[in-house]
Amino acid sequence: MTSKVAVGDNFGTVSIVDTARKIVVDRFKIPSLSGRRVLSISSATIDWVGTQLTYVAVVARGCPQVHILTFKHSDCKLKHSYSLNLIPELQNQETPELNNEQKYLKFPFEVKLSQEFAFLAVTLVSGEVKLFKMPSIYNPLEMPT
């Protein structure tokens, strides 16, 4: 049984909190989410090579991307694995609020990872749900930092 929980704040930072020891074990500031409120976090934990591996999906306000973070329970260091851009045609990806007549209906609002990390369901502001098949699990020791 794990006692680690992923939480987000109003400034684009995701933290791992150990609820048994009541401490924050790691913080990760996602650069493209600077100053944006984290709206939704979902995680999936799997057994992996003698430890547990947790994937965390993060959605922030006014951001067209879903960020996937990873951490091993043995070292508890969050790493950015990749991002899914839901609106690749959007101009000014980092500051969409500067686009004239910007509509936010296609922006992600909520995420949900399946238990075995096979699928990701993304609910858009409009209520539409998009389902993505997640890539195969790779060696997190070889992940870029």
What span, in angstroms and rounded, lies between the C-alpha atoms of 54 and 27? Answer: 15
Residues 6 or more apart from 33 whose CB is under 8 A from it?
Answer: 12, 58, 60, 63, 67
The amino acid sitting at 9 is D
The whole-model pTM stands at 0.85
Question: What is the domain partition of the chain in residue ranges?
Answer: 39-138
What span, in angstroms and rounded, lies between the C-alpha atoms of 50 and 110? Answer: 31
pLDDT in tens, 46-56: 888 788 888 99
Span between the terminal Cα atoms of the chain, in Å: 28
Q: Are 116 and 46 in contact (CB under 8 A)?
A: yes
pLDDT in tens, 112-123: 999 888 999 999
Supply the pLDDT for residue 1.
Answer: 45
Q: Are 16 and 4 in contact (CB under 8 A)?
A: yes
DSSP assignments along 28-68, one per residue: EE-GGGTT--EEEEEEEEEEETTEEEEEEEEEETT--EEEE
In this predicted model, which residue has the larger pLDDT, 131 or 49? 131
